[in-house]
């Protein structure tokens, strides 16, 4: 499992904890002894799981990134089923999600995803890993440069670096923010699964950056916003319809 891509979230940067799901963090809150504490923990996990499933459902039905990727997977012969290919789980640390190629499952970290917009990005990001795996039928994750390439593509095309995200991270006005943000986050994703130095991860990202940054499959452009993704999805459907005639 350690060599599968897992993607770090942002829970270390603060302000992401939901107070009502904090029982595990603040055990002194439960005064009723072990049994009550256990049932409260169980209830919190159950609630998180339920909420994760609901947010996943919304992402699959309404996010243009996800809708395009669902169509693209289907065209490539890898039809995706919500119940078989997604799993909401409790994860360690700040990981938000991962793709497990041995089971073809996208794991969503229910304890680290608190907002619908975050869920949309994680689903799109892991979906791009699933798409690459479906397309190539090869497990690239053991090769550091291939892993770097997968992360560059997933970060670039999932909305991880959309302008709105960057504004909230106080990087507004940064020139070429897309390139910088993609490099930055790809390095973080590699470091989350590989026990290598930051310099080695940066070197791998730099070596493959040009070609991987410019590969937008299955999008026809870099979707910088939800609107971009919507147009990309519309064009993808039209393109599909055109070819279906012949």
Annotation says 126 is catalytic: yes
Distance in angstroms (rounded) separating the CA atoms of residues 128 and 143: 18
Distance in angstroms (rounded) separating the CA atoms of residues 218 and 232: 9
The nearer residue to Zn ion, 56 or 154, going by C-beta atoms, is 154
Looking up tokens 């909420």, which residue turns up?
51
* Rg value, the chain, Cα: 19
Under the binding rule (CB under 5 A), the answer on residue 7 touching Zn ion is: yes
Query: Residues 72, 185, 189, 194: which binds Zn ion (CB under 5 A)?
Result: 189
Under the binding rule (CB under 5 A), the answer on residue 156 touching Zn ion is: no
Under the binding rule (CB under 5 A), the answer on residue 154 touching Zn ion is: yes
The nearer residue to Zn ion, 68 or 107, going by C-beta atoms, is 107
Using CB under 5 A, which residues numbered 9 to 28 contact Zn ion? none
Q: How far is CA 245 from the centre of its chain?
A: 34
Distance in angstroms (rounded) separating the CA atoms of residues 137 and 104: 11
**Set 126, 202, 210, 217: catalytic member:** 126
Under the binding rule (CB under 5 A), the answer on residue 132 touching Zn ion is: no
Dihedral pair phi/psi, residue 99, rounded to 5°: -120, 125
Near Zn ion by CB under 5 A, which window of 6-14, 58-66, 83-91, 223-231? 6-14
Distance in angstroms (rounded) separating the CA atoms of residues 230 and 113: 23
Binding site residues, Zn ion, CB under 5 A: 5, 7, 151, 154, 189
Q: Would you name the residues annotated as active-site residues?
A: 126
């Amino acid at each position: 499992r350690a060599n599968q891509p897992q993607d770090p979230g942002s829970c270390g940067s603060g302000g992401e904890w939901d107070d009502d799901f904090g029982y595990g963090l603040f055990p002194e809150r439960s005064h009723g002894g072990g049994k009550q504490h256990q049932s409260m923990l169980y209830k919190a996990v159950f609630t998180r799981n339920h909420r994760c499933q609901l947010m996943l459902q919304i992402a699959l039905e309404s996010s243009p990134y996800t809708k395009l990727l669902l169509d693209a997977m289907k065209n490539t012969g890898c039809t995706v089923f919500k119940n078989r290919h997604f799993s909401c789980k409790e994860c360690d640390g700040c990981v938000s999600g991962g793709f497990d190629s041995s089971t073809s499952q996208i794991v969503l970290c229910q304890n680290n995803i608190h907002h619908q917009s975050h869920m949309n990005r994680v689903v799109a990001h892991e979906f791009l890993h699933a798409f690459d795996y479906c397309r190539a039928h090869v497990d690239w994750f053991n090769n550091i440069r291939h892993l770097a390439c997968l992360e560059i593509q997933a970060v670039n095309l999932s909305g991880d670096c959309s302008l709105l995200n960057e504004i909230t991270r106080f990087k507004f006005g940064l020139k070429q923010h897309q390139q910088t943000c993609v490099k930055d986050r790809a390095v973080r994703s590699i470091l989350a699964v590989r026990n290598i130095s930051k310099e080695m991860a940066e070197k791998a990202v730099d070596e493959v950056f040009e070609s991987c940054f410019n590969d937008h499959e299955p999008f026809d452009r870099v979707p910088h916003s939800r609107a971009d993704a919507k147009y990309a999805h519309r064009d993808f459907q039209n393109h599909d319809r055109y070819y279906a005639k012949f």
